[in-house]
Amino acid sequence: MVLGFPANCLRALCPCPLPISAHALGAKLMEQTGRPVVPIEATSKSAERTIAFHVSPLRSLAERLTFLSSIRSPDSQTENLDETYRHTITVHGREYQKYSIDNEISFQPVDRDEANRLELQNKVFNKVFDNRLIFPRNCEPQRVLDCGHGAGSWAFQVAENFPECKVIGVDISPHMIPDDDDYDVMENLEFQVDDLNRPFTFPPEDFDLVNSRMMAAGIDGSRWTSYIQDIKRVLKPGGWVQLVEIYFNVQSDNGSLTEKHALRQWSTKLMSSVEGVKDLRVGTRLRDLLLAAGLKEVESTMIPLPLCEWASEPRMRDIGKDNRKITRRLLTAVALYPLTQRLHMPHDEFQQLIDQAQKEAESPSLKTYFPLYVAIGRKPS
């Protein structure tokens, strides 16, 4: 397995004058560790910012993270990996990546609770998509990029189901990857740390498939056009992109949900808390973004994701039942930092809003759902 870290952090490990090559960094790591270190993705393009290193043999991911982050900077002015990407802050009992908060990248927690929520959400997505991980029917990928891997569930499943395929997950936060031997033995799965709001460092025409799921809260609102262009650029001709986004504007089709409901207030406040920074409505324009980028064979759909088991149709009822548990946690996880820290809502007021919103989400008569948008597109050959 491979861990990637932004080159500017790796530079901090080495007293050599900048710029430093990936190979020199690798050699320095090897010297300090006594373990084989192989730079990968070390083209001059990727060396500008993100360099991944294959460090072996190490027993576990946790050991590797601890190991890499324990190397001290020779330059006391420069922060080491710990300080920059691993440092977390606690807000009302939840842990956030400090780097993300400081740089307005993501306002979502990165703790075990959130990783667990994402794993459960992945199970719901598996049901919603009938266990199809890759949506285009004629896609047999050799190289896959997962943008914002989170707890790594989707990337892991793809790597497991397609053993010949190399899967690379990129995330600003390394915190939620499980410390799990299953992940560690998978030679075809790599995780890298990078900010996807910045131009991709992968070479052009590198991937057969790029997956981007639930990234609305992390990709800057003004970045989406260039984000899709970057995805297109790193796709091989004929390669596919698949996008999945929940629109966190709670809906009901029976007219019973009004602006007075806590669920509606939750949605409205969440949107306004990141106004001008993130586009939480981006799900509604995935199709337009793909078409505008010149992708072909574009298809899109909206699937209502029931917040509880109100549907009469057994399959949707089952999905709603599973989603009920996740919704309880999602309402807090997604909104805690934005509402209390960005909108300065007192915590007890926040808690009252969440308590009421949870009750409403669990009320079958309201028949609430989140619109789940899915879109695919293909790079012309």
Ligand X SMILES: C[S@@+](CC[C@H](N)C(=O)[O-])C[C@H]1O[C@@H](n2cnc3c(N)ncnc32)[C@H](O)[C@@H]1O
DSSP 8-state assignment for residue 196: T
CA distances from 73 to 32, 69, 78, 195 (A): 12, 10, 7, 22
User: CA neighbours within 13 Å on the CB side: how many for 375?
Assistant: 23
CB 62 within 8 A of CB 179: yes
CA distances from 184 to 51, 99, 157 (A): 19, 26, 14
Q: Which stretch binds ligand X (CB under 6 A): 60-68, 76-84, 145-153, 366-374?
A: 145-153
Closest to ligand X by CB, 37 or 196: 196
Gyration radius of the chain's alpha carbons:
21
Counting contacts by CB under 6 A, is residue 274 touching ligand X?
no
Q: Which stretch binds ligand X (CB under 6 A): 86-94, 137-145, 171-179, 251-259?
A: 171-179
Q: Which stretch binds ligand X (CB under 6 A): 6-14, 167-175, 286-294, 368-376?
A: 167-175
> In the bound complex, what is the minimum distance in angstroms from residue 348's beta carbon to ligand X?
26
Using left for φ > 0, alpha for ψ between -120 and 50, and beta otherwise, residue 120 falls in alpha
Counting contacts by CB under 6 A, is residue 195 touching ligand X?
yes
Among 171, 206, 279, 360, binds ligand X (CB under 6 A): 171
Among 68, 71, 214, 345, binds ligand X (CB under 6 A): 214
Whether omega before 39 lies within 30 degrees of 0, making that bond cis, reads no
Counting contacts by CB under 6 A, is residue 118 touching ligand X?
yes
Counting contacts by CB under 6 A, is residue 300 touching ligand X?
no
CB 42 within 8 A of CB 22: yes
> In the bound complex, what is the minimum distance in angstroms from residue 378's beta carbon to ligand X?
21
Among 227, 245, 238, 263, which Cα is nearest to 356's?
Answer: 263
Give the Cα separation of 337 and 333 in Å (integer): 8
- Evaluated on CA atoms 182, 185, 188, 193, the torsion sign reads positive
76 burial class (0-12, 13-18, 19+ CB within 10 angstroms)?
A: exposed
Among 46, 88, 173, 273, binds ligand X (CB under 6 A): 173
Q: Which stretch binds ligand X (CB under 6 A): 39-47, 104-112, 137-145, 354-362?
A: 104-112
Counting contacts by CB under 6 A, is residue 218 touching ligand X?
yes
Among 124, 134, 196, 270, binds ligand X (CB under 6 A): 196
Q: Which residue type is seen at 87?
A: H
Counting contacts by CB under 6 A, is residue 148 touching ligand X?
yes
CB 247 within 8 A of CB 375: no
Counting contacts by CB under 6 A, is residue 234 touching ligand X?
no
Counting contacts by CB under 6 A, is residue 197 touching ligand X?
yes
> In the bound complex, what is the minimum distance in angstroms from residue 194's beta carbon to ligand X?
6
What is the H or E stretch that residue 310 is in?
none
CA distances from 128 to 44, 240, 329 (A): 41, 20, 19
Q: Which stretch binds ligand X (CB under 6 A): 6-14, 168-176, 182-190, 297-305?
A: 168-176
Size of the residue set binding ligand X (CB under 6 A) = 22
Among 213, 232, 328, 378, binds ligand X (CB under 6 A): 213
Q: Which residue is nearest to ligand X (CB)?
A: 218
Q: Which two tokens stand for residue 310?
A: 């109100």
Among 73, 122, 251, 368, binds ligand X (CB under 6 A): 122
Residues that bind ligand X in the complex, under the rule CB under 6 A: 105-106, 108, 118, 122, 148-150, 153-154, 171-173, 176, 195-197, 213-215, 218-219
